[in-house]
Chain A
Amino acid sequence: MDQLIFFINKVLVAGTVLGSIYALGAIGVTLIFGILRFAHFAHGDMMTMGGFIAFVLAALCAAAGISGPVPTGFIVLPVAMALTAIIALGLDKAFYAPLRKRGAKPVTLLIASIGVTLMIQGLIRLFFGVSTRSFFETEPKKILRFDMSWLGGSRPITFTQPELLMVIVTIVICYALHLFLSRSRLGKAMRAMSDNADLAQVSGINTALVVRVTWIIAGALACCAGTMLALDVSLTPDLAFNIVLPIFAAAIVGGLGQAYGAIAGGFLIGFAETLAVFDWSVLLRPFQQWLPFEITGTISLVPTEYKLTVAFVILVIVLLARPTGIFKGAAT
């Protein structure tokens, strides 16, 4: 029974949290690709920027003495998301729209997004320095423990309060996005433009408005994902730059341009990574006598330092086997 609890703590909880962060990041990437047909590399740094904005707001709240049952990071989240969305609109108007007007190819937009990535990273480090910060300098990180002794488990199922809130927030956002895309007029217009941009224009859809809405959603979700990542680990300037790869992998695996695909892809990559670095020896020990080989030390599919490569290996397999992804997004 203890082995099962160990598995739940280490894989189920960690995988869900990681999956939700990747999913929120991947949704932004896939929406931008669906509408504007280019891979937005600066998305990782938009997440980091969102995290820092939330951090500043949280610090202001703490200074003003505002606090609540929930970590201040979550209280300020809506405001931070709004601010990041506005900045995302500004970025598009300043860097991407002028190039689009001059008929730049998607590749040029991709290179422009590298410029934006570097500028955001430079600015973040300029204002916040390079040191690692945490949301929980002032307030403790509550740990929730569920006693499993009634099932004979000697150890409790443990996860932190932010992790619980994160999963809830992700579910709420995914459901809200689902409602927006399936019920609202603008949401359907976005899906239409992602499906067939020419026909959308011919139907009278105001494409400029759809582009603006796309950036607002992508910016808001990026901020949310960045803040959650910062709450889960800690806040550093290259916080999200390291997960640009898994986010793109999730978006492609899910099928570029398909929001639901991005959610599925995010969780798939999240769980794959946690499973790959999971130490199976704990689970296998009770079955030692039936196993041919003798368990010594840890057995994991992939040593922990290769965790990042797991996302990439999945990406290459998907790109080769089924380039349109699970939900039939844009093909290669």
Chain B
Amino acid sequence: MSPAVTRALGLYAALVVLIIGVGVGMGIPYTTRMLVEAAAYALIALGLNIQWGYGGLFNFGIMGFLMVGGACVTFISYPINQKFWNSDGPMLLGRALIAAIIGFLLILAARNAHRIGIKGGWKTTLIVIAWAISYVVFRSQIDPATAYIEAQAGFVGGLGLPVVVGWAFGGLVVAGIAWVVGRICLGLRTDYLAIATIGISEIIRALIKNMQWLTRGTLTVSPIRWPVPLPEDYQAKGMDTFSALIYARGGYFLVAGAIVAAVMVLLIRAYGGPWGRMMRAIRDNYIAAGSMGKNVTARQLEVFVLGSILIGIGGGILVSFAQIFDPGSYQPINHTFLIWVMIIVGGAGNNWGALFGAVFIYVVWLLSEPLAQLLFGSISDWSSHVGWGAIPDIESRSLQMRVFVLGLVISIALRYAPRGLIPEVAQTSR
């Protein structure tokens, strides 16, 4: 076995030992909860690994895609809100949709104005006017519709379909958004793409937070169903709370774990085969790859969309597990940069590296909270013992320790293991 493989196995063994340690220290229910969330983050990390590791595309908008994934699973799996369907809400929304389509066609016509002889400056002004008109028309339809829905039915409610359909739908919608974003922004240089994707993520956050009629925004939506029996269902069958928690969360982990395993198999086969070879060539030298017959822009778009699908599904799994969709709880640190740390520490471009980074960093991220409290508690005791008095509000301060630790981990990783703990190994052909 090559040294790289033995090193990877050693790291994974250490990870298992760490998880067992957490199990002993913090109890099984806590650990199973951690594993489920770690599996969701693993999926998200694999998605980012496809975009950055395979394709060298700088996606800083992970938070936005996560929120869309979460909103979609809420919309699909939440029970049907009869008040909405019985009101004229659907009809109003229909008209708003038609207005949007008309506006879109208007813009499309303006963009092809050069066919009827309108060129250059005139054409751009025509496009701007088309955008303005369609925006005003759409706003004239959507504002009354949303006001009516919020007044009458609170919000659109869900479709009551199975949760797994919600995850898939989330992946699909995110793929659509990623396709549009990719078409616009993929020509940009890496650091411009980073800024553009952050911007898109902020727009998505603002939209979801304020579209009360669809997502109830800051009023949050709960409870959201699980794909597997809930702890309460087991308790109903007479199981004590402790084992009910383990069974329920264990069931959820099996589903999430199965998805991660399936995705790993597909990715390893794809990245190991001709497709992976082509993507590595494009990332290595896109000019040469272009001259060797690879349609670079199409391939980069493919990679961007594929990665976004996994991120969307991961977002859905997280929201379903938490059983609450709260747009306000999404922070760039926890939902964008944390995943970047996972990839950098794990090893960009290597599926096993990304998986390892995701689980390892998530365990560290979760553990840092109790550990920090422990640390601050002892310092505070020591300082009050010495007479300086306890450190004020340890509770919130120790939480912030994690943010500092995260930054420290990135800085150290870039200095001493820039290619990650399980770096991408050149595929020496068998």
Residues of A within 8 A of B (CB): 38-39, 41, 95, 98-99, 104, 106-108, 110-112, 114-123, 125-126, 129-130, 237, 241, 244-245, 248-249, 252, 303, 305-306, 308-309, 311-313, 315-316, 319-320, 323, 332
Given A111-B414, A305-B206: A332 touches B404 (CB 8 Å cut-off): no
Q: Does B216 contact A (CB under 8 A)?
A: no
Q: Which residues of B contact A237 (CB under 8 A)?
A: 400
Number of interface residues of B (CB under 8 A): 45
Which of B187, B194, B206, B408 makes the CB contact (< 8 A) with A332?
B187
Is B396's CB under 8 angstroms from A122's CB?
Answer: no
Q: Which residues of B contact A111 (CB under 8 A)?
A: 340, 344, 410, 414
Nearest-neighbour CB distance to chain A for B340, whole angstroms, equals 6
Among A118, A244, A305, A309, the one with the most B-chain Cβ atoms within 10 Å of its Cβ is A118
Is A312's CB under 8 angstroms from B199's CB?
Answer: yes
Q: Which of B313-339 contact A (CB under 8 A)?
A: 332-333, 337
19 interchain pairs, CB-CB under 8 A: A41-B194, A99-B414, A115-B411, A116-B411, A118-B407, A121-B400, A121-B404, A121-B407, A122-B404, A125-B397, A129-B392, A303-B210, A306-B210, A308-B202, A309-B206, A312-B203, A313-B203, A315-B196, A332-B188
Is A39's CB under 8 angstroms from B333's CB?
Answer: no
Q: Which residues of A contact B190 (CB under 8 A)?
A: 106-107, 110
Nearest-neighbour CB distance to chain B for A41, whole angstroms, equals 8
Given A99-B415, A118-B403, A129-B393: A252 touches B408 (CB 8 Å cut-off): no
Q: Does B401 contact A (CB under 8 A)?
A: yes
Nearest 8 pairs of A and B residues by beta carbon: A122-B404, A118-B407, A115-B410, A312-B199, A125-B400, A119-B407, A122-B403, A39-B191
Given A111-B340, A111-B344, A245-B202: A319 touches B407 (CB 8 Å cut-off): no
Which of B333, B340, B397, B415 makes the CB contact (< 8 A) with A98?
B415
Q: Does B105 contact A (CB under 8 A)?
A: no
* Interface flags, B173-195, vs A, CB<8A=1, else 0: 00000000000110111111011
Nearest-neighbour CB distance to chain A for B232, whole angstroms, equals 34
Q: Which of B333-370 contact A (CB under 8 A)?
A: 333, 337, 340, 344
Q: With A119-B408, A309-B199 given, can you name 7 additional A-B contacts, CB distance below 8 Å?
A: A108-B414, A117-B337, A118-B403, A121-B404, A129-B397, A244-B198, A309-B202
CA–CA, A332 to B200, complex, Å? 18
Given A110-B194, A129-B392, A332-B189: A118 touches B406 (CB 8 Å cut-off): yes
Is B210's CB under 8 angstroms from A305's CB?
Answer: yes
DSSP class of A's interface residues: helix, strand, loop or mixed? helix
Among A104, A130, A241, the one with the most B-chain Cβ atoms within 10 Å of its Cβ is A130
Q: Does B418 contact A (CB under 8 A)?
A: yes
Is B405's CB under 8 angstroms from A122's CB?
Answer: yes
Is B202's CB under 8 angstroms from A118's CB?
Answer: no
Q: Which residues of A contact B188 (CB under 8 A)?
A: 319, 323, 332
Inter-chain contact total with CB atoms closer than 8 Å: 133
Which of A95, A117, A309 makes the CB contact (< 8 A) with B203?
A309
Q: Does B225 contact A (CB under 8 A)?
A: no
Q: Does B249 contact A (CB under 8 A)?
A: no
Is A130's CB under 8 angstroms from B414's CB?
Answer: no
Is B199's CB under 8 angstroms from A316's CB?
Answer: yes
CA–CA, A306 to B207, complex, Å? 8
Q: Which of B374-409 contact A (CB under 8 A)?
A: 392-393, 396-397, 400-409
Residues of B within 8 A of A (CB): 58, 184-185, 187-192, 194-196, 198-200, 202-203, 206-207, 209-210, 332-333, 337, 340, 344, 392-393, 396-397, 400-411, 414-415, 418
Nearest-neighbour CB distance to chain B for A6, whole angstroms, equals 23
Q: Which residues of A contact B195 (CB under 8 A)?
A: 39, 245, 248-249, 252, 315
Q: Which residues of B contact A315 (CB under 8 A)?
A: 195-196, 199
CA–CA, A319 to B404, complex, Å? 33
Is B210's CB under 8 angstroms from A319's CB?
Answer: no
CA–CA, A249 to B207, complex, Å? 20
Nearest-neighbour CB distance to chain A for B416, whole angstroms, equals 11
Q: Which residues of A contact B209 (CB under 8 A)?
A: 305
Is B333's CB under 8 angstroms from A118's CB?
Answer: yes
CA–CA, A111 to B393, complex, Å? 32
Nearest-neighbour CB distance to chain A for B406, whole angstroms, equals 5
CA–CA, A184 to B199, complex, Å? 37
Q: Which residues of B contact A309 (CB under 8 A)?
A: 199, 202-203, 206
**Residue of A with least CB distance to B140:** A293
Is B414's CB under 8 angstroms from A319's CB?
Answer: no
CA–CA, A315 to B58, complex, Å? 17
Q: Which residues of B contact A126 (CB under 8 A)?
A: 397, 400-401, 404
Which of A112, A119, A241, A244 makes the CB contact (< 8 A) with B404?
A119
CA–CA, A39 to B192, complex, Å? 8
Which of B185, B332, B404, B415 makes the CB contact (< 8 A) with A123?
B404
Among B199, B206, B344, the one with the most A-chain Cβ atoms within 10 Å of its Cβ is B199
Q: Which residues of A contact B333 (CB under 8 A)?
A: 118, 121
CA–CA, A38 to B195, complex, Å? 12
Q: Which residues of A contact B405 (CB under 8 A)?
A: 122
Is A112's CB under 8 angstroms from B411's CB?
Answer: yes
Is A245's CB under 8 angstroms from B414's CB?
Answer: no
**Residue of A with least CB distance to B187:** A332
Q: Which residues of A contact B403 (CB under 8 A)?
A: 118, 121-122, 125
Q: Which residues of B contact A121 (CB under 8 A)?
A: 333, 400, 403-404, 407
Is B407's CB under 8 angstroms from A117's CB?
Answer: yes
